[in-house]
Each structure stands twice: as structure tokens, then as C-alpha cells.
Amino acid sequence: MRAHKSAPDLAAHRDALIAVLRDVIARPDLTPNALDKLVRAHARGGRSLYRRETLIRAYRAFAGEDGLPPYDPAVIERLRMKPVRTSSGVTPLTVLTKPFPCPGECIFCPNDVRMPKSYLSDEPGAQRAEQNAFDPYLQTMTRLKAYYHTGHPTDKIEVIVLGGTWSFYPQTYQIWFVKRIFDALHDFGAGVDQSAEVEARLRAASQLHPDNNTPNVRLSGDALAQTYNQVVQRIYADEMRRSREAARARTPIDEVATWDELEAAHRQNEDAPCRCVGLVIETRPDHLDDAEVERIRRLGCTKVQIGFQSLNDAVLLANKRGHTVAATRRAVQMLRRAGFKIHAHWMPNLYGATPQSDLADYDRLFGDPDFRPDELKIYPCSLIESAELMRHYRAGAWRPYTHEELLDLLTACFLRTPEYCRLTRVIRDIPSTDIVDGNKTTNFRQLVEAEIARRGERGRDIRAREVRFAPTDPDGLMLDEIAYETSIGREIFLQFIDSERRIAGFLRLALPACPPPDNLADDLTDAAIIREVHVYGQAVEIGERERGRAQHSGLGARLIERAAAIARAAGYARLAVISAVGTRGYYRKRGFEDGRLFQVRELREYHAGGVEFEPNH
């Protein structure tokens, strides 16, 4: 809700803006640096230095006028800010849940009572959440508008819900939170914006509104007289009471929704202009059971971020993690049997660990069939003043790894990562001012990649091989298959790659050797499971097809048909898919029918119809 810098009046600057746009259109090979130079050149003589979002607004308004050619999405692409954000084929949108008690007591975890547990109030995503009172509608709408104004597609959205332990929040809050995200997607797609109304209600009734939320309690890890949970429950007592009483008088900000309301929002989103093609939540291994797995699937979830942190029981105990490695094994098995994508968090440099023990831990991560995550965030432990780890640091019992130790460790980890895993992040986005001691380099991935190149080697994980902006000829791709064992059976990773093993698209196929839990048996009995289909390259809007792009070129459909053939040959009677809400229509066109929580296709002879868009769920 922070006021945006006022945008210039397009009509008043029409001639100057059109002059800039003519030069942009005349140079189809324009690089970001060349665009910046072009804009500065037009600013001479006292003219304004236009921001890219202003140029994007102007192009949308003036295309086809005053000698400008008709609207062309390629021009928006040249003007797009931070194109890498949508270079993986979807537009990621992150929202945070509100401050709330946490079941964990991890000594490495920050204790910022303005935030959900483990987050810091000056992290970029956390700042956006706080400015929007942690309201899911406002966070979603604000982010969608920011993407639109900076030239990014907004039709295929991967929603990532972060903040604390999702499974510890009340079920009513979970349903309401997700439902309000979908409300914002639908309103944005329809050109409706209820942000002002929601913001006014929050200002009047919610302590979480920035005008009302002024806790001045700061916890110090050196002397934790009170825990995060105790302080949060005290300072947000009125907010929590309002949440409990919300059902008495429903308004757009009351944290209550029913399953029926959420499922209606799901149905509306299936063919909406702004679709949810993936929904991600994060939780702890010890807060998952069969009922919780069913519940998050019912919410529309397709991927779970789960904190492994370590695969060493002694390290987990020393850091007061609150669960054992056995709990992580059970959680991964339950999630994989239900078809979820597994996005693990792993933390080297924890209290009690060494570079040597961490490397052995990483080998277990992919060497043991009980783990083998699909995606991984590597978060070396950072020393934060509010964390209990400060006590061990002051006592000399823990120290951060040196730059050289960390570089050697992460380089070795990168080179040990298999092709089926994507390293999504290396080093958490914590401002250096919050780190008491240790690594403050946020671009450590680049340092690791440079070290790998210096050694004459190449990283193999998915992110290192994505085609991104490179021209792609679908006819020149090879279909490659990698098989590996997991705790539930065999997994087949199908990927379309070029001669350099750059990846244009992939599919994860599970061939379970064990029966599904009773609550999922209707959909998953005797079924192989498509856990993910993803086609890479810069995101292309639904219905659009661009030459040289992997998206919407039929790769997803070809992967599905190959998966069906593998499953049929392996003796499965059915093929299930853990589809996102916004991809259900796509799978119906591929012969899948709606089940209770999954879509299922009988493995008989099938002739495919038309393809609308690649699902990327």
C-alpha cells in the first residue's frame, strides 16, 4: 500500500514517447543495455528519462497510431523489466501468511515478531507482504499489477505461499487464504480491482495494517527471555481473537471461507484469463500425515516446499529441529505417493556440522531413494541477531564457514546434483545488515558456476540447463529418459534436450510399487502418476505461438503420450495427473477425466485432439 511514484501523463508526453518507441521497434535485436542507452539519448535537451514501465504503458496505448505498427508482443518483450523472472515458462507470484505461532524451536531461526516465523521484515518479499497487511488478495493483486506494468505475462501464474509452517495454521485460515488468492486472480483477469475497499476495511479493523501494526518488541538470541510464540500471541491477541470471531459477520477481510466457496473459485479459474498453473505451500516433515496430504491437495496444491535442513539426527537434535530424519522419510514418501512435487530446503553449516559432514549429508540427499527431491534450495546457515544460535556463537561453539570453505562445499554439491533436480536458489535473500557474521554475498550461485567453469566442468541440474532465451527448434530436440528408484517405486524423468543437453521440457512419471492411502484410492489405485509437466523458455501467453520458442510447440503433449506408453507397458491400467486448477482443461483435451482430487486417463488407445497451451504445473 506504499504510494507508487506518480507515472507521467501519457498524453502530455505523447510525441517524446512515440519517438522512443519508434527506435525500439526499429531495432529487434535491442539488448537491455542498448535500450538504456537509447532512453538516455532521448532524454537530452531537458526531456524526461522514461522508466520502462512508462514505455510499456505508452506502447499499449499508442500501438497502431502515429505511424507505429499494430501491437506486437515482441516489442513488450524488448521493454520487459527483469525478463529472467518469467524465463522458466511461468510467472511466479509469492505471498506470505501472517505472523503466527510456530511448532518449531530451531536455534538458527530468526525471531522477528513482525513476520511469520523464520522471515525477516526487511527481506523484499516480506516487505511487500507487510505493506499489504499480509492480506492474500492485496498481495496477489499488487504483484499482478507490478508484473503487468513491467511487461510480464499474467495468464499462467505459479502461486507460492510462504511463511511459517502452513500446516500449523487453522484450516479455516488456509481455505480463506487460498480462496482470496483466487479472487484476486479472477478480478485482475476481469479488469476489476477491489484493493481500495479491502485496504479500507483492514485499516479500520486489522492490527496487521501498517498504520496499526507497530510492535516495538525485539528479541535477542543472546538472551531469549520470551519465545517468538509467546510474544506473537501477546502482541497479536486482538488479531487472533478477531480471526476466531470472523464467522459471525462475514466481510472480504474476515479469515473464513468454506470448502464449497473455494471449489467454486477453482472451477471459475479453469478457463479464466489469469490462471493458477501451480500452487505451492511450505511445511515441516513432522506436520504431514495422510489427512494433511489430502487437505493440501484439496486446496489445489501441486508442490510442497519442505524443510529437510539436515539428514543427520545428531545435527537435527543439536539445532532443536524437533523431528528426526525418519519423519522426513515418511513425509517424502507420503507426498511422492500422492504425486506432489517435492521442493526440499537444505542447510549446510548448521550447529554441529562441518564441511565434511555436510558433503556426506548432500550425498545422502540424492544417494538414498527415500529422498531424491525434485527441487532444492540450499540455504547455508546465516547468523541472525534474534536467533538462539547467537549463544553458541558467543561461546565459540559455532562459527560460519569461511568464503573458501563455502565455495568448495557448494561447488562439490552442484557437481553432485543429478539432472532431474532443479537448484532453485542458493543463499537466502537476507539483507547483509541482518547478518551478524558469515557470508553476505547474495550472488554466490554465480561464484560457484564460475568456479565450475574454471575447473572445465558443467553443472547438470535443471536450472543450469534451461533453454531460457535461446532459440529452440522442437524438431531438433532429443527425448532422453532417466530412471531412478524412490521410496514408492520407480521414477522416470523424461526430458527434451538439445545436443548440448540444454533442457526445453520435461515430465516426471512415478510408477508406484505400493498402494495409495485409502483416502486417495479412488483416483490412484492401479495408476501411474504424472507429477509434473514443464516446458521451458520465456513465458508465452495462452493461445500464442512464437517461432523458435519451446512453449506451445507440442512438447508437453508428446511427453504425456510417451508417459502413457511407458505406464501401459509397465502394466498400469490408468494414468493419473496431479493437475493444477488452471491446467485441468488442458488435460481434459488429452483424454483425462476429473476424479475426486486428480485427473485420470484410462490407458487404452487414444487419439489426441488440439492443444491449447502447455500446462507448466
**Structure confidence by residue, pLDDT tens digits, 346-362:** 999 999 999 999 999 99
Q: With CA atoms as reference, report the closest residue to 563 among 592, 522, 598, 597.
A: 592
Coil vs helix vs strand at 397: coil
pLDDT at site 218:
80
Range of the domain at 241: 101-154+170-276
Question: Is residue 534 domain-resident?
Answer: yes
Look over the chain and give the mean of its residue pLDDT values, rounded to a whole number.
Answer: 89
Give percent of the chain with pLDDT exceeding 90.
65
Quick check: 540 pLDDT over 70?
Answer: no
Q: Are residues 589 and 541 in the same domain?
A: yes
Q: Please say if the pLDDT value at position 511 is more than 50.
A: yes
Confidence of residue 85 (pLDDT cuts 50, 70, 90): low
Of the ranges 206-210, 430-434, 511-515, the best mean pLDDT one: 511-515
Same domain, 128 and 265: yes
pLDDT tens sequence across 112-163: 989 999 899 888 889 999 999 999 999 999 999 999 998 889 999 999 999 9
Task: Tell me what pLDDT residue 611 has.
Answer: 39
Phi/psi for 347 (5° steps) reads: -120, 105
In the block, residue with C-alpha cell 495462452: 542
CA-CA distance, 82 to 580, in Å (whole number)? 26
Give the pLDDT of residue 305. 97
pLDDT band at 1 (very low <50, low <70, confident <90, very high): very low
pLDDT tens per residue across span 552-561: 468 999 999 9
Quote the percentage of the chain above a pLDDT of 70. 89
Of the three residues 233, 251, 276, the one that is the final residue of a domain is: 276
Dihedral over Cα of 505, 511, 514, 516: its sign:
positive
* pLDDT tens track for 381-397: 999 999 999 999 999 99
Residues 328 and 450 in one domain: yes
Q: Is residue 93 part of a domain?
A: no
The predicted model scores a pTM of: 0.89
Q: Is residue 616 a part of any domain in this protein?
A: no
Residue at 52 is within a domain = yes
- Least confident stretch, 192-201, 432-441, 539-548: 539-548
pLDDT at 30: 78
Query: Are residues 376 and 330 both part of a single domain?
Result: yes
Instruction: Look at residue 617 and tell me whether its pLDDT is greater than 60.
Output: no
What is the average pLDDT across 170-180? 95
226 lies in the same domain as 113: yes
Mean pLDDT to the nearest integer, 461-483:
88
The reply to whether 66 falls in a domain is: yes
pLDDT (mean) for 291-319 = 98
Same domain, 474 and 379: no
Instruction: Verify that 577 and 519 share a domain, yes or no.
Output: yes
Pull the grid cell for residue 519.
Answer: 483416502
Q: Could you give the CA distance from residue 509 to residue 487 in angstroms, rounded to a whole number?
A: 14
Q: Let me know whether 351 and 316 are in one domain.
A: yes
Are residues 475 and 586 both part of a single domain?
Answer: yes
Instruction: Return the ∠ at Cα 508 (arms to 337 and 586), rounded to 5°.
Output: 100
Across the beta sheet with 599-602, what order do the strands follow? Answer: 478-486, 489-497, 503-512, 527-535, 574-577, 599-602, 593-594
Please indicate, yes or no, if residue 450 is contained in any of the structural domains.
yes
pLDDT at 4 over 80: no
Total domain count, the chain: 4
Q: What is the CATH number of the domain that holds 470?
A: 3.40.630.30
Q: What is the CATH number of the domain that holds 442?
A: 3.20.20.70
Q: How far apart are the first and last CA of the chain?
A: 30
**Phi, psi values for residue 594, rounded to 5°:** -70, 125
Query: What is residue 50's predicted lDDT score, i.e. its pLDDT?
Result: 82
The one-letter code for the residue type at 97 is T
| Mean pLDDT, rounded, for 336-352 | 98
**pLDDT tens figures, 129-142:** 999 999 999 999 99
Residues 431 and 576 in one domain: no
Average pLDDT over residues 13-40: 85
pLDDT digits 0-9 by tens, 197-253 = 999 999 998 889 988 876 777 888 887 778 888 888 888 887 777 666 655 556 656
CA distance 55 to 18: 9
Residue 86 lies in a domain: no
Residue among 310, 415, 401, 423 nearest 355 (CA): 401
pLDDT at position 223: 76
Selected residue with higher pLDDT from 235 and 280 = 280
288 and 272 together in one domain: no
Final residue before a domain boundary, out of 258, 276, 294: 276
What angle is formed at CA 161 by the lines to CA 160 and CA 167, rounded to 5 degrees?
135
Residue 245 confidence (pLDDT): 64
Residue 108 pLDDT grade (very low, low, confident, very high; cuts 50, 70, 90): very high
Checking if the pLDDT of 90 tops 90, the result is no
Last residue of a domain, one of 225, 254, 276: 276
pLDDT class of 304 with cuts at 50, 70, 90: very high
Q: What is the mean pLDDT of residues 417-441?
A: 92
Both 485 and 436 in one domain: the answer is: no
| 524 φ, ψ (degrees, to nearest 5) | -110, -5
pLDDT score at 610: 39
Q: Is residue 114 part of a domain?
A: yes
**Residue whose cell numbers read 511427453:** 559
